């Protein structure tokens, strides 16, 4: 635990060297590429790693990388020149490139911050390959970590997000490059004091003081407010939360990875890191708590080489909802990145398009009235029965009905009735509602998971839904005091 410490120059040098050893950030055989922006953190990182390597070689070679984002005009040009001068001063080779981040953000419809981050890491990866580096070191400090955790809490996050930044991780899940943060347990004030004591100048990014950016407001306004009025050591508390959460998640992740291997059914998954499809045993998945199920799904996403940031909490929740509560075959797509199919007690996850992409899994079928209609290529049977209202039949029906049974006024029905899944433009009048609405809006309002929406059967009349099976009938076919005959509709699943 380093979060409460304060250092002078010599102590900070020893502290960073200790962090490198404790977290095995790199060793004497590694080639390290330093990401240097010219700001105080990266200048301190350069000086500390350079000095550590002179006293007791911590790595075999050091290179500098600088990316000019072309965001701040003359300031950006001066940053680039400043870093080139640093490289000369320390007698280190430098790779420097320019990227028009504003243009990239505009073309890719991303925020400026997101585009800058993505391009920066792409650049660092390419630069590392050019110089043969296997470690990329960046200057994130303890303040950055606390701000990141608070930012994630405000925006909404889970156990992974609460873990904050890690001192060492793979640049990408299957990369041979490690990303390390030697200053992650050093506070910004100690970095500034170190630079002053070493008489090292640095650049100041003027955009850091612009409070129109959310992250900057957290740093300049929210954290000082929390320190003043609520907890003077709020940053230390956030870092402690990060460390505790990381320990808990690492334990869960280790269990989940073992369970993933047990549940994995496709043979190539036992030998190949990156898979085109992951097939999991649903019975084994259902034996474990949902937190482990989610981490197992996350591991599947990693093995499919889909960026984890593409999927959020709702996406995992939808998959788990179908996994645990859906009793019929289902196939759907999550945000265009992940294709999901449940069939024969197996969960299929893939980048490939399953048949739901070509058409609905339930083909439009004419319903026999009265009679039974087997729905081709599904396990469904639709049963229709005409009944007179007499001898308390309706009251008995209401007591025993399930959500897959409905009774409507038969004399308000026009044949033929069809059964299918939803189509664009579908509308109906939900029972008890003030009027007609789009089926899409009905699904959203009733929080029907996105993965289920294309699989929900619908009984239609005049090509518009009159019964969204399992949810609601159309108000216009409801039973009234004038109803004489009933149409009993049932959807059953065959075994």
Residue extent(s) of CATH 3.50.40.10 domains in the chain: 365-493
Q: What is the reported pTM?
A: 0.72
Query: How many CA within 13 A on the CB side of residue 361?
Result: 22
The CATH superfamily label for domain 9-232 reads HUPs (3.40.50.620)
Of 80, 78, 85, 82, whose CA–CA distance to 96 is shortest?
Answer: 80
pLDDT score of 489: 95
Sheet containing strand 485-493, edge to edge, reads 371-374, 380-388, 485-493, 405-409
What is the DSSP annotation of 310-358?
G--HHHHHHHHHHHHH--S-EEEEETTTEEEEEETTEEEEESS--GGGT
Segment-wise mean pLDDT, segments of 10 residues, the chain, 495 residues: 62 93 92 96 96 82 95 93 97 95 89 90 95 96 97 92 95 92 96 95 86 86 96 97 96 96 84 85 94 95 87 85 67 68 84 49 87 84 91 84 93 94 93 94 85 85 95 95 93 79
Query: pLDDT for 96-123, tens place per residue?
Result: 999 999 999 998 888 888 899 999 999 9
Strand partners, 278: 349
CA–CA distance, 303 with 299 (Å, rounded to integer):
6
pLDDT score of 332: 59
The angle subtended at Cα 407 by Cα 403 and Cα 412, nearest 5°, is 135
Residue extent(s) of CATH 3.40.50.620 domains in the chain: 9-232
**CATH architecture under which domain 264-357 falls:** 2-Layer Sandwich (3.30)
The CATH superfamily label for domain 365-493 reads Phenylalanyl-trna Synthetase, Chain B, domain 3 (3.50.40.10)
Q: Which residue has the tokens 């081709």?
A: 376
Report yes or no: 476 and 435 within 8 Å, Cβ to Cβ: no
Q: Which two tokens stand for residue 266?
A: 């496709």
CA–CA distance, 480 with 230 (Å, rounded to integer):
61
Q: Which two tokens stand for residue 493?
A: 């699943």
- Collect all residues with Cβ–Cβ distance below 8 Å to 301 and sequence separation of at least 6: 308, 311, 338, 349
pLDDT score of 359: 42
Query: pLDDT for 205-264, tens place per residue?
Result: 887 777 778 889 999 999 999 999 999 999 999 999 999 999 999 999 999 999 999 999
pLDDT score of 355: 41
């Amino acid at each position: 635990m380093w979060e409460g410490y304060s250092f002078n120059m010599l102590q900070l040098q020893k502290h960073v060297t200790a962090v490198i050893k404790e977290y095995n950030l790199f060793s004497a055989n590694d080639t390290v590429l330093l990401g240097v922006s010219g700001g105080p953190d990266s200048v301190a990182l350069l000086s500390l790693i350079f000095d550590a390597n002179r006293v007791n070689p911590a790595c075999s070679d050091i290179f500098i990388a600088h990316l000019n984002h072309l965001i701040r005009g003359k300031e950006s040009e001066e940053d680039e020149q400043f870093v080139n001068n640093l490289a000369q001063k320390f007698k280190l080779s430098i790779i420097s490139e320019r990227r028009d981040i504003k243009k990239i953000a505009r073309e890719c419809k991303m925020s400026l911050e997101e585009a800058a981050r993505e391009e920066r890491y792409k650049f660092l990866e390419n630069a590392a390959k050019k110089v043969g580096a296997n470690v990329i070191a960046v200057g994130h400090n303890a303040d950055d970590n606390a701000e990141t955790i608070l930012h994630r809490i405000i925006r909404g996050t889970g156990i992974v997000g609460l873990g904050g930044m890690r001192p060492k991780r793979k640049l990408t899940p299957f990369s041979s490059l490690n990303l390390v943060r030697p200053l992650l347990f050093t506070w910004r004030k100690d970095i500034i004091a170190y630079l002053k004591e070493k008489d090292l100048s640095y650049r100041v990014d003027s955009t850091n003081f612009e409070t129109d950016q959310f992250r900057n407001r957290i740093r300049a306004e929210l954290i000082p407010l929390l320190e003043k009025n609520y907890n003077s050591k709020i940053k230390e508390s956030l870092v402690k939360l990060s460390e505790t959460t990381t320990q808990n998640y690492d334990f869960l992740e280790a269990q989940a990875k073992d369970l993933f291997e047990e549940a994995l059914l496709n043979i190539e998954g036992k030998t190949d890191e990156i898979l085109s499809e992951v097939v999991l045993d649903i019975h084994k998945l259902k034996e474990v708590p949902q937190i482990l199920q989610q981490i197992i799904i996350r591991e599947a996403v990693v093995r499919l080489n889909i960026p984890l940031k593409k999927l959020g909490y709702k996406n995992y929740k939808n998959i788990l909802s179908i996994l645990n509560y859906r009793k019929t075959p289902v196939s759907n797509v999550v945000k265009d990145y992940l294709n999901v199919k449940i069939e024969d007690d197996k969960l299929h996850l893939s980048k490939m398009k399953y048949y739901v992409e070509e058409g609905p899994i339930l083909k439009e079928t004419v319903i026999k009235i009265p009679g039974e209609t087997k729905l081709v290529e599904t396990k469904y049977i639709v049963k229709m029965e005409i009944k007179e209202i007499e001898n308390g039949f309706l009251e008995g029906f209401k007591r025993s009905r399930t959500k897959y049974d409905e009774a409507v006024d038969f004399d308000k029905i026009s044949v033929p009735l069809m059964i299918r899944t939803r189509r664009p433009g579908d509308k109906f009048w939900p029972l008890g509602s003030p009027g007609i609405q789009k089926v899409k809006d009905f699904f959203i309002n009733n929080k029907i998971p996105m993965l289920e929406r294309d699989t929900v059967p619908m009984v239609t009349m005049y090509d518009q839904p009159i019964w969204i099976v399992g949810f609601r009938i159309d108000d216009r076919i409801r039973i009234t005091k004038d109803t004489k005959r009933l149409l009993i509709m049932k959807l059953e699943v065959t075994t």
